[in-house]
Amino acid sequence: MNKYESVIIINPSVDDDKLKDLEKRFTDLINKDGKLEKVDELGKKKLAYEIRKNKEGIYVVLYFEANPALIAELERNYRITDEVIKFLVIRQEQ
């Protein structure tokens, strides 16, 4: 298993309950085939450039271990979730 870091930018109009639901959905998906280490909620920040007519977004960072096959499924879920406006998954060096 490899270590990964995933940064998700969520639409700023999402309320706290929906944000918790999104986090739970993604962490459950990771825990099915991997191991979640830490979740950092960085809060609402100004974006460097406008994305989907949003000037700010809610940043969430997930640190986890997983098999490479899980990454494709995780990214597919990010893409089909309307509240996610941008995401990035990075493999960390050992």
Measured CA to CA, the distance from residue 11 to residue 5 in angstroms comes to 20
Question: Structural domains in the chain?
Answer: 2-91 (3.30.70.60)
pLDDT at 54: 92
pLDDT at 49: 93
Report the interhelical angle of 16-33 vs 68-80 (nearest 10°).
160
Q: How many CA atoms lie within 13 A of 57 on its CB side?
A: 21
| pTM for the model | 0.89
Q: What residue ranges of the chain have pLDDT lower than 70?
A: none
List of residues 6+ apart from 43 with CB closer than 8 A: 58, 59
DSSP letters, 21-35, are: HHHHHHHHHHHHHEE
pLDDT at 33: 86
pLDDT at 93: 82
